[in-house]
Amino acid sequence: MQNIVQRFVSFDRPIGPALVRIVYYVGAVFILSATGFAVIMSVLALAGGNVGTGVMQLIAAPAVGAAGFVWWRFMCELFMLAFMAYERLVEISDRLPDYSQF
């Protein structure tokens, strides 16, 4: 527990990757919930006698949910790229010789 607090207070390492993962999982749960809700609504539309709307929603809901899930993953990966680039630059900086003495 102290390690988490120390990591949060100090700026030695960014906490962004962990936050991006949390945001990703929260968004994924939201997308899956919205897709499930849309499928339930399409079944209710079919049960209510609105066949055209029910069938279209039953086809469209999983397709839109899958596209939204892929888009959400892509957006979170873009944020992760910034943090991975920072970590890579730190590695490169550590390998360079120290020219501050000259």
- Say yes or no to pLDDT of 98 above 80: no
- Say yes or no to pLDDT of 73 above 90: yes
3-state SS, 19-35, equals HHHHHHHHHHHHHHHHH
List pLDDT tens digits, range 37-51.
Answer: 999 999 999 999 999
- Say yes or no to pLDDT of 100 above 80: no
In which band, very low, low, confident or very high, does the pLDDT at 67 lie, cut at 50, 70 and 90? very high
Least confident interval from 12-21, 33-42, 69-78: 12-21
Nearest to 70 by CA among 21, 33, 24, 39: 24
